[in-house]
Structure 1
Amino acid sequence: MDAIINAIIDGNIKINEELLPERELAAILGVGRGSLRESLAILEFLGIIETKGNRKVVVKGTDSIEKAISIIRLSKNTDSIVDFIEFRRVIETAIVKLACERATDEDIRLIKSSVDRLEEDPNDFIADSEFHINLAKASHNPIFAAVLDFVNSMMMDLRSRFYTVKDYHMKTVTEHRNILKAIENKNADQAVEQINTHLNNIEQFSKEIEL
């Protein structure tokens, strides 16, 4: 991630120019292709990179890149994990309550799709993030959705590291399905209980990841 950002800042990767193929870019940056692929996915989520057809293009300038750097550095801070979870307890319990009242059939379909994707691919941490963003959208409060989208972008690098921990994927899929079921049943109390169980487990898993 640092190698890509530094190459953008130094002008070796230029704004609005197509990125080199992964194999060549990984060799130039001196990083593994797996790490490169994950980093590109995070930068794409942050809006620094866009996919245009079969091409990946850097579309944001220095100001946005500096913000991305500050977000990534914050996510590496051990103390910030506790702050993230505390914040998420407040906002996501409110979100699931509203989702139980307001979620449409299309909202349910999108939430389920993100759960299915994560179950199929244990490394799809983007689907993990999109599950929570789709929950926020199902609240039909655009401020909740925008804030959670931003918070998820701050956590993206951190979230990818959870998938190195044994059982994280299996537990997360199960917990996501339990939250989805509560929303489908419009059971707000159950939804709150399930989101809190999920966040409690994230807090426990956070003690096992490499920071």
Structure 2
Amino acid sequence: MADDVAQAPARAWRVVLDKIETDLLEGRLTPGDRLAPERELSATLGVGRSSVREALRVLEVMGLIKTGTGSGPTSGAIIIATPRGGLAALLRLQVAAQGFPIADVVATRLLLEQWVVGTLAVDGEHDLAAVRSTLTAMDDDALSTEEFLALDAQFHLALADASGNAVVGASMAGLRTSIESYVQAGARRIPDWDATATRLRREHHDLIRAIDSGEADLARSLVHDHITGYYAAAGLTRD
């Protein structure tokens, strides 16, 4: 009996999510549409208003709706299209809960970043201004290790954003905390950081030259070696 009581609220707010998902898939709801008021959703779906509010909080965290309080044209819940915010937030929560092994993060980086640089090399129309400005900032020899690695993470994220693929960009943004965490931890295991920083700078510049010259295969090879090379140099294990 206790288990039934504990599970009931979870089932109730899930009903709301399933209804909204179905309406989106079948075209009854589109970005810009306003959801029915809490009272109406509660009555229509046969769930309590607290369950409706819980479902709306989940949808807002996922980046699918924006809610406004009070009354008038800005009140209630509106369907929005911010997949990057929602996906990135969910990935960051998993990272915070230590749900991703380092080896899996590295493998995912390889999949995503090889696609990114290959795409950028093939299509020279992408805007790499943010990538180049970050690269310039990294050339400052006065940077601390922490500052350098924060810029390194920004460099790779800027490459993903430049690809124009929202899912790839969101995935990289969500993984950024995990990437920075293992990269920072690995730096402490490297005996000659200055030499490593010099090598990383050179690899970044080589990568951008390959992209600029349209050499997709070379760009993919360079980013693969760049990521796996640091992983190995830092003595990180595949546990």
- TM-score when normalising by structure 1: 0.58
Cα 1:147–1:99 shift into 2, 3 Å:
same
Aligned equivalent of 1:49: none
Contact 2:187/2:234 (8 A) holds in 1: no
Deviation at 1:136, TM superposition (A): 0.6
CA–CA separation in structure 2 for the residues paired with 1:113 and 1:170? 18
CA–CA separation in structure 1 for the residues paired with 2:186 and 2:211? 25
Aligned equivalent of 1:17: none
CA–CA separation in structure 1 for the residues paired with 2:172 and 2:94? 17
Q: Within 5 A, what are the aligned runs for 1:142-157?
A: 142-157=166-181
Deviation at 1:82, TM superposition (A): 1.6
Q: Deviations over 1:105-155 (max 9, x none)?
A: 7x3222121122122124222210011111111211111111111111222
Q: Deviations over 1:163-189 (max 9, x none)?
A: 332233222111111111111112101
Task: Choose from 84, 94, 97 the match for 2:115.
Answer: 94
Contact 1:97/1:188 (8 A) holds in 2: yes
Alignment pair present for 1:162 and 2:204: no
Deviation at 1:104, TM superposition (A): 4.1
Alignment pair present for 1:194 and 2:222: yes
CA–CA separation in structure 2 for the residues paired with 1:161 and 1:146? 24
Q: Within 5 A, what are the aligned runs for 1:1-211?
A: 71-72=95-96, 74=98, 80-104=101-125, 107-120=127-140, 121-123=143-145, 124=147, 125-164=149-188, 165=190, 166=192, 167-207=195-235
* Amino acid across the alignment from 1:169: A
* Amino acid across the alignment from 1:95: V
What are structure 2's unaligned runs of at least 5 residues? 1-88
Larger Rg: 2
CA–CA separation in structure 2 for the residues paired with 1:68 and 1:145? 13
Deviation at 1:96, TM superposition (A): 0.7
* Amino acid across the alignment from 1:152: R
What are structure 1's unaligned runs of at least 5 residues? 1-64
RMSD value over aligned CA atoms? 2.8
Query: Tell me, what secondary structure is at the counterpart of 1:74?
Result: coil
**Number of equivalences:** 141
